[in-house]
Amino acid sequence: MKRVLSGMQSSGQLTIGNYIGALRNFVNLQHLHRCYFMVVDMHAITVPQDPAALKEQTESIASLYIAAGLDPNKASIFLQSHVPAHAELGWIMTTLTYMGELERMTQFKDKSAGKESVGAGLFTYPSLMAADILLYNADLIPVGDDQKQHLELTRDLANRFNNRFGEFFTMPEPYMPEIGARIMSLDDASKKMSKSSPNPGSYIAMLDEPAVIRKKLSRAVTDSGREVKYDPQNKPEVSNLISIYSHFANMSVAEIEAKYDGQGYGPFKKDLAEVVVAVLEPIQERYREIRKSGEIFDILKKGAAEASELANETLLEVKKRMGFVLPS
């Protein structure tokens, strides 16, 4: 049995990009491996967050994990800030990271572009992410394509530690969907769909009302042709919509192309909205029940206790190897 670790930042409402790229895989993996899934609230504060919104987003994402099918008896579900070992190993990993490595990170470049003042936490974020993974000596990391570069840095840091202080950390591997590892924005297929986008029309949130989903998809940008064909190079917008369709309807790209052959974009977009609504509506219903019951707080408490056990053990071993004087 492998160890699996992943998380989502509470920096907005989860989108169908987060669902396809990561959350769906969390749900599948919990049946096969020892899984740790957290809401990475400490990562969320690498960009300014309104306190009330941060609290709401964190509770909402944790509740969506359960509503989407994560089972607290199969996986440990917790908040990153409830396991202080993350911050502590995060600092240690920062000291092992080179400035040049962080400067090369494309997510930092994207998120800091055009901003006058950028927090140092946004720059050192990948070192904290490395700590998140290494604390659990995780083998498999279910993430979307945008996190691949951060995961490569985690592997470099694990290697660096092992070389300096003796073989200890496992080399984590990414676990990604074949199609849909990067779902693009509905208004601009050159940008990935992001929960923190200032334009809500660019994404479908998992909690969007069915009427909103229908409206957003009917307005999704397409090219001026009419052929429903998967061709990311020449038809990036339509290809993105086909990826979404494929995931939500469990149909192959070829089946979708054949179904809409000669019909133009209208019927395709209309049906796409219905397949997305059909999957999200029951999740939203369960979500409302979870929020009402308050059960999420007990789930997070149990998850944090389980995660802390392994995380504290790892941290102690790391400190011992590095020469820290351990408390007697």
Q: Is 100 annotated as a binding residue?
A: no
The reply to whether 195 belongs to the active site is yes
Which candidate, 199, 203, 197, 221, places its Cα nearest to that of 276? 203
The beta-strand segments (E) located in the chain are 3-8, 34-39, 75-79, 140-142, 173-175
Tell me how far apart the terminal alpha carbons of the chain are, to the nearest angstrom: 34
The reply to whether 192 belongs to the active site is yes
Of residues 128 and 315, the one with the C-beta less far from ligand AQP: 128
The reply to whether 183 sits near ligand AQP by the rule CB under 6 A is yes
- Residue pair 245/272 in contact (Cβ under 8 Å)? The answer is yes
Q: Which of 2, 109, 115, 195 is catalytic?
A: 195
156 class by beta-carbon count within 10 Å (0-12 exposed, 13-18 middle, 19+ buried): middle
Using the contact rule CB under 6 A, the part of the chain among 3-11, 84-92, 221-229, 290-298 near ligand AQP is 3-11
Q: Which of 191, 192, 215, 216 is catalytic?
A: 192
Q: Which of 111, 216, 235, 269 is catalytic?
A: 111
The residues with which 4 forms a beta bridge, in sequence order, are 35, 140
Q: Is the four-CA dihedral 19, 275, 253, 221 of positive or negative sign?
A: negative
Q: Scanning the structure block, which residue is given the tokens 């969007």?
A: 208
Tokens representing 207 are 């909690």
The reply to whether 195 sits near ligand AQP by the rule CB under 6 A is yes
Q: Which residues contact 138 (CB under 8 A, 6 or more apart)?
A: 3, 4, 5, 36, 170, 172
The reply to whether 189 sits near ligand AQP by the rule CB under 6 A is no
- Report, in Å, the least distance between residue 144 CB and ligand AQP: 2
Q: Is 201 annotated as a binding residue?
A: no
- Report, in Å, the least distance between residue 7 CB and ligand AQP: 6
Of residues 61 and 318, the one with the C-beta less far from ligand AQP: 61
Segment 137 to 176, residues that bind ligand AQP, using CB under 6 A? 143-144, 146-147
Residues in touch with ligand AQP (CB under 6 A): 8-9, 11-12, 15, 17-18, 20-22, 143-144, 146-147, 181-183, 192-196
Task: Point out the annotated binding site for ATP.
Answer: 9-11, 17-18, 144-146, 183, 192-196
Active-site residue list: 111, 192, 195
